[in-house]
């Protein structure tokens, strides 16, 4: 599968802007959602090729959203990369156990993130 359309889910407008600029500069089409509810709406409208997802958000957090997406047959094939300030190894392991394909910590190393996305293509 070629990754072209990426859904970025983060409650920080600054992070959304930074990630959107990085990804569009890398040639990707980006849609943004500020929370889990908005992410569900975006998924209902059009399936992305990849979801880049923050963990610490109000309401449903990124771990919970990852689990919900990964266990839903309509969305299970969409790879998820968690992108978070939670840098403990236990957080990374937990995120991967919820269904994420990869895990990057903030502040994001742009070259590393782009290489991880290309590796999933």
Q: What is the pLDDT of residue 1?
A: 72
pLDDT in tens, 51-104: 999 999 999 999 999 999 999 999 999 999 999 999 999 999 999 999 999 999
Residue 40's H or E segment, with its range, is: helix 36-45
Q: Which domain holds residue 35?
A: 5-120
Dihedral over Cα of 20, 107, 77, 27: its sign = positive
Domain count, the chain: 1
Query: What is residue 108's DSSP assignment?
Result: P
Q: What is the pLDDT of residue 121?
A: 86
pLDDT in tens, 11-32: 999 999 999 999 999 999 999 9
């Amino acid at each position: 599968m070629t990754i072209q359309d990426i859904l970025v889910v983060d409650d920080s407008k600054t992070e959304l802007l930074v990630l959107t600029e990085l990804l569009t500069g890398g040639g990707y089409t980006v849609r943004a959602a500020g929370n889990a509810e908005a992410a569900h709406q975006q998924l209902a409208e059009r399936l992305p090729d990849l979801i880049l997802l923050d963990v610490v958000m109000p309401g449903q957090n990124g771990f919970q959203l990852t689990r919900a997406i990964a266990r839903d047959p309509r969305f299970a094939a969409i790879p998820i990369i968690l992108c978070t300030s939670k840098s403990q190894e236990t957080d990374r392991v937990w995120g991967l156990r919820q269904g994420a394909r990869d895990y990057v910590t903030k502040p994001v190393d742009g070259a590393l993130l782009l290489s991880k996305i290309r590796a999933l293509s």
